[in-house]
Amino acid sequence: MKENFPLKSDSFQLFNNYYDLLYHEKDYEAETEYASDILRSYNSSSRHLLELGFGTGNYSKHLSARGYKITGIEKSEHMVTLAKAKAIPHFLPIVDDITTFTLNKKFDAAISLFHVMSYLTKNTKVISCLKQVCRHLKRKGIFIFDVWYTPAVYSQQPASKVKHVNTDTYEITRIAEPQVNYEENIVEVNYLLIIKNKISCHHEVLKETHYLRHFSTPEIKLLANLSGFDLVRSEEFLTAKQPCNDTWGVCYILQKK
């Protein structure tokens, strides 16, 4: 049995070969439609989008199908390779850091889904990212993103979870064990991934630690103001309800000043 020992990181490194399998049930179609509704409500003519942390391009694929032209920033070279293999029309994937990227272009809007911003655990990183996004937006452009919500994290408390995925080729078990760092507003999630290849009977065990920050609305408002944005709206992701202690994921809409 091949075993890789824990990698301390703030992004997917070891799991990216199995990323799409692990999230095959995720409703990217519905989530993209939700984001598209927000985009249309602020600027119905938005066509050129900047996407941060696009992973393997699952949102980009659905955005492209809706007529958007997307430029994506993703730090993982391997994930970019997987995204390119999907040959998504009107999608330009770029390997870069979402906190330091520089492009010679301005966009109608920016988007970052699936808690990408929660991987920025330091204020300096959040501000750097927001400032880069602001520089790349046209006047009154909006930035849509979702994060873990502090009131829900402290009210519900992160719990250990086990996920099973079974395909024709793979049998995968993922165990997630969280630890809460109350002083830093960070949840350390220790992942154990057990993969069995049914065809070759090869087993692989991967371990990885992810650090995710949760945010309160006053924090987002302050960080936005420091970076050239106004916070114009916050709501429960997908439902658009008012955030509460049961709302784990909150969507924030910032507008360039």
Whole-model pTM over 0.85: yes
Beta strand extents in 126-228 (DSSP E only): 137-149, 161-166, 170-181, 186-197, 203-215
- Residues 185 and 214: their CA atoms lie apart, in Å, by 6
Same domain, 86 and 167: no
Give the lowest-confidence range in 89-93, 167-171, 218-222.
167-171
Residue 64 has φ and ψ, to the nearest 5°, of: -60, -40
pLDDT confidence band for 14 (50 / 70 / 90): low
- Residues 192 and 207: their CA atoms lie apart, in Å, by 5
- Residues 188 and 40: their CA atoms lie apart, in Å, by 36
Q: How many domains does the chain have?
A: 2
Of 244, 215, 218, nearest in space to 150 by CA: 215
Could you tell me the CATH number of the domain that includes residue 43?
Answer: 3.40.50.150
User: Could you give the 3-state DSSP secondary structure of residue 82?
Assistant: helix
The per-residue pLDDT for 16 is 80
240's CB contacts (< 8 A; 6+ apart) are 34
The amino acid occupying position 145 is F
In which domain, by residue range, is 194 found? 2-21+152-213
Residue 125 has φ and ψ, to the nearest 5°, of: -70, -40
The per-residue pLDDT for 111 is 98
Write out the two tokens for 249.
């994921």
Same domain, 46 and 167: no
Cβ count near 255 (within 10 Å)? 21
Same domain, 82 and 94: yes
Residue 13 has pLDDT above 90, yes or no: no
Same domain, 182 and 224: no
pLDDT confidence band for 40 (50 / 70 / 90): very high
Of 149, 114, 133, 141, nearest in space to 31 by CA: 114
Same domain, 178 and 97: no
- CA dihedral of 57, 74, 147, 252, whole degrees rounded to 10: -80
User: Could you give the 3-state DSSP secondary structure of residue 166?
Assistant: strand
Same domain, 54 and 181: no
* Length of the chain measured in residues: 257
- Residues 124 and 66: their CA atoms lie apart, in Å, by 34
Same domain, 79 and 172: no
Write out the two tokens for 201.
């009977």
Same domain, 142 and 244: yes
Residue 5 has pLDDT above 80, yes or no: no
- Residues 174 and 168: their CA atoms lie apart, in Å, by 18
Same domain, 101 and 161: no
CA angle, 58 as apex, 53 and 59 as ends, to 5°? 70
Q: Per-residue pLDDT tens for 111-145?
A: 999 999 999 999 999 999 999 999 999 999 999 99
Same domain, 58 and 72: yes
Of 141, 81, 69, nearest in space to 108 by CA: 141
Same domain, 87 and 172: no
Cβ count near 63 (within 10 Å)? 26
Same domain, 114 and 222: yes
Of 44, 64, 46, 45, nearest in space to 54 by CA: 64
CB hemisphere CA count around 109 (13 angstroms)? 25
